[in-house]
């Protein structure tokens, strides 16, 4: 029986690609680097801001000082422009309501910096999620399972009573590292092929499909 659903944020609950792309392009341009098309950022995001900046710069010999400057400009811009185009994917709110009605606990774990994660989740989802964790000194980045395992302990559930839902291979590997059920969502940034290659337990094309997956566990002991 599933008692806890833990979600990735970007590409899973919210479509934030345009705002991430605009913030990164702003920071790149400030340091004399060229912009990228929004669609290209589907391959850049997912492993935290530092990795996003490295991938967008596309220069292996770029100095740490330059990367730090670009990240600082990204943080400053994104802090006040994170919600220009970002919004939950269609049917996400209904899906979350269904899970709550079935007394399933909800949490978010993201590789986005913790301060951004809490701000965005509070704005779009209020108090829907009891545990919300982004990357910080205390919360290592996925696929390290530490944050997921700590969340499982917080709710006093077993790993097999938890699902981790995300849009990338990083999310699927995180779930496997923690010994929980892995669910890949194909509507996000990476797509079904990557999720299948990562051997997700389930791959869903619509938020309503998650309800079917959860229900299949409801009567298990």
Rg (CA), the chain: 17
- Concerning whether 10 is annotated as a catalytic residue, the answer is no
| Cα angle value 92/95/99 (rounded, 5°) | 140
Catalytic residues: 8
């Amino acid at each position: 029986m599933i008692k806890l659903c833990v979600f990735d944020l970007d590409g899973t609950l919210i479509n934030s690609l345009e705002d991430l792309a605009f913030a990164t392009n702003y920071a790149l341009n400030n340091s004399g680097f060229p912009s990228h098309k929004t669609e290209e950022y589907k391959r850049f995001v997912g492993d935290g801001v530092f990795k996003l900046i490295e991938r967008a710069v596309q220069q292996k010999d770029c100095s740490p000082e330059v990367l730090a400057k670009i990240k600082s400009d990204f943080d400053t811009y994104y802090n006040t422009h994170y919600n220009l185009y970002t919004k939950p994917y269609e049917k996400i709110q209904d899906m979350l309501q269904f899970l709550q009605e079935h007394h399933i606990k909800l949490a978010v774990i993201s590789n986005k910096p913790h301060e951004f994660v809490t701000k965005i989740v509070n704005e779009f989802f209020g108090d829907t999620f009891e545990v919300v964790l982004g990357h910080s000194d205390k919360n290592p980045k996925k696929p390290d399972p530490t944050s997921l395992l700590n969340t499982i302990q917080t709710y006093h559930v077993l790993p097999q009573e938890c699902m981790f839902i995300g849009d990338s291979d990083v999310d699927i590997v995180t779930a496997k590292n923690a010994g929980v059920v892995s669910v890949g969502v194909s509507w996000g940034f990476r797509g079904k092929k990557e999720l299948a290659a990562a051997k997700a337990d389930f791959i869903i094309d619509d938020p309503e499909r998650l309800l079917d997956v959860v229900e299949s566990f409801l009567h298990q002991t």
